[in-house]
């Protein structure tokens, strides 16, 4: 048990570093644009290339995890992230910087999904919700600290310092995890070489399972409604309260604090509400938070809305993560990477989808859809799921 707890903490550390690397460039765009003599829009390639590589590589890690073992994949990905972080810190040109960031995204993509799969393999189902909530806590802290430290480095230390720190953090986590489990983990039995055709066939086999289709449909809608809407929250804060971009970004930290509140109280709430209760309350809280964010006239109400929406999102999302680890136990790694990829494409669909009335109307539609998503549950309610999707994507 002590060995498992130690390994679990190291897995959390790699997940923390992975999420920190995803957000560390957000406050640096103006500094990068000046140093490399590019526009702010062009500088945003360090964010978008990371995201594209992160989403596109999700599917590749499923068969690798099934064949070589989840912890081995996490160790490899963390070492690779250390290398690309160092390459980013030393990049002499903007082109190499953007390529290094894409490499970071491609390798960081193997950490959190494989951590979920490993937890699914090691932790009994009745304890899994709370353990995944702790993983969620690590990822939320990573997102928050990545944004904060990226700003500190850009203002005071030099932006390259952030990536030297990330390189060291990834290397320490990878080395300790390698020492902890490398000698203990038995070699995987020989299997056929991993290929695109073999993976596609396995994915199609999983998609024949009603439970897999249901969880992925829920995930796609969650990505569009709950996850995707948050990308527009800073714009709404600026529009409604006249906040600067930096102040609006700082207020979004409260969204992460809502997630941390859930992760710390997850065990108690799970025992009292159960899975369906968490889904219902989570969907309702997201809807309430988005509506409050849309209609609030005071900054403190906007801050409260961010906390409420964050709390609701992580209640609902953690529930879906647990479902993803159990929807196909015989091919858990492939199933979880399908889940992660579906969430990513739902998020991207939300960001590209435009509708009438601006950000406020978008949030009202999202709030109604999120309430329906909570009502849909996990085993029943396909009509509710279709309805909440229709509410969001309709242009009426």
According to the model, what pLDDT value does residue 370 have? 44
Q: Is the pLDDT higher at 396 or at 106?
A: 106
Q: Where is mean pLDDT largest: 4-18, 45-59, 204-218, 380-394?
A: 4-18
How far, in Å, are 95, 353, 365 from residue 223 at the CA level?
31, 13, 14
Q: Is the pLDDT of residue 160 over 50?
A: yes
Q: Is the pLDDT higher at 63 or at 32?
A: 32
How many Å apart are CA 313 and CA 290, to the nearest integer?
11
Strands (E), 241-299: none
Whether residue 273 contacts residue 219, with contact meaning beta carbons closer than 8 Å, is answered with no
Percent of the chain at pLDDT exceeding 70: 76
Report the CATH number of the 1-186 domain: 1.20.1250.20
Q: Which of 291, 340, 293, 285 has its CA nearest to residue 310?
A: 285
Q: Structural domain boundaries of the chain?
A: 1-186, 195-396
Q: What is the pLDDT of residues 227-261, one digit of tens each?
A: 656 656 666 777 777 776 557 667 777 877 887 78
How many Å apart are CA 22 and CA 12, to the nearest integer?
16
**Domain 195-396, CATH among 1.10.300.10, 2.40.110.20, 3.30.365.10, 1.20.1250.20:** 1.20.1250.20
Are 1-186 and 195-396 in the same CATH fold? yes
Query: Residue 41 CB: number of other CB atoms within 10 A?
Result: 10
Query: Which pTM value belongs to this model?
Result: 0.71
Q: What is the pLDDT of residues 326-357, one digit of tens each?
A: 777 777 777 777 787 777 777 665 555 444 44
How confident is the model over 211-227, as a mean pLDDT?
75
Q: Is the pLDDT higher at 32 or at 86?
A: 86
- What angle (nearest 5°) sits at the alpha carbon of residue 303, between those of residues 297 and 305? 80
Grade residue 43 by pLDDT with cuts at 50, 70 and 90: confident
């Amino acid at each position: 048990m002590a060995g498992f707890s130690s390994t679990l903490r190291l897995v959390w550390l790699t997940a923390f570093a992975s999420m920190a690397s995803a957000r560390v460039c957000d406050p640096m765009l103006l500094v990068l644009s000046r140093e490399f003599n590019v526009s702010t829009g062009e500088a945003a390639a360090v964010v978008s290339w990371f995201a594209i590589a992160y989403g596109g590589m999700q599917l590749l890690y499923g068969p690798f995890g099934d064949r070589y073992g989840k912890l081995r994949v996490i160790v490899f990905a963390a070492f690779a992230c250390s290398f690309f972080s160092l390459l980013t810190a030393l990049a002499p040109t903007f082109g190499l910087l953007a390529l290094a960031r894409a490499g970071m995204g491609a390798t960081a993509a193997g950490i959190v999904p494989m951590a979920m799969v490993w937890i699914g393999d090691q932790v009994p189902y009745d304890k899994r919700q709370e353990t995944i909530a702790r993983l969620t806590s690590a990822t939320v802290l990573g997102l928050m600290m990545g944004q904060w430290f990226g700003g500190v480095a850009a203002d005071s230390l030099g932006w390259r310092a952030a990536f030297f720190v990330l390189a060291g953090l990834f290397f320490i986590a990878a080395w300790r995890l390698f020492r902890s489990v490398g000698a203990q983990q038995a070699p995987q039995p020989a299997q056929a070489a991993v290929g695109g055709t073999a993976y596609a066939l396995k994915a199609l086999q999983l998609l024949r399972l009603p439970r897999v289709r249901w969880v992925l449909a829920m995930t796609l809608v969650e990505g569009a409604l709950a996850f995707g809407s948050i990308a527009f929250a800073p714009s709404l804060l600026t529009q409604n309260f006249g906040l600067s971009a930096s102040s609006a970004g700082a207020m979004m930290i409260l969204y992460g604090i809502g997630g941390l509140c859930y992760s710390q109280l997850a065990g108690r709430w799970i025992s009292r509400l159960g899975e369906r209760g968490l889904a219902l309350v989570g969907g309702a809280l997201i809807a309430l938070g988005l509506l409050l964010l849309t209609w609030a006239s005071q900054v403190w109400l906007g801050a409260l809305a961010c906390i409420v929406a964050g709390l609701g999102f992580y209640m609902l999302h953690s529930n879906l993560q647990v479902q993803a680890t159990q929807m196909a136990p015989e091919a858990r790694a492939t199933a979880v990477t399908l889940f992660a990829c579906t969430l990513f494409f739902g998020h991207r669909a939300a960001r590209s989808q435009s509708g009438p009335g601006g950000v406020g109307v978008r949030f009202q539609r999202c709030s109604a859809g999120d309430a329906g998503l909570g009502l849909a549950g996990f085993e029943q309610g396909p009509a509710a799921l279709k309805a909440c999707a229709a509410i969001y994507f309709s242009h009426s």
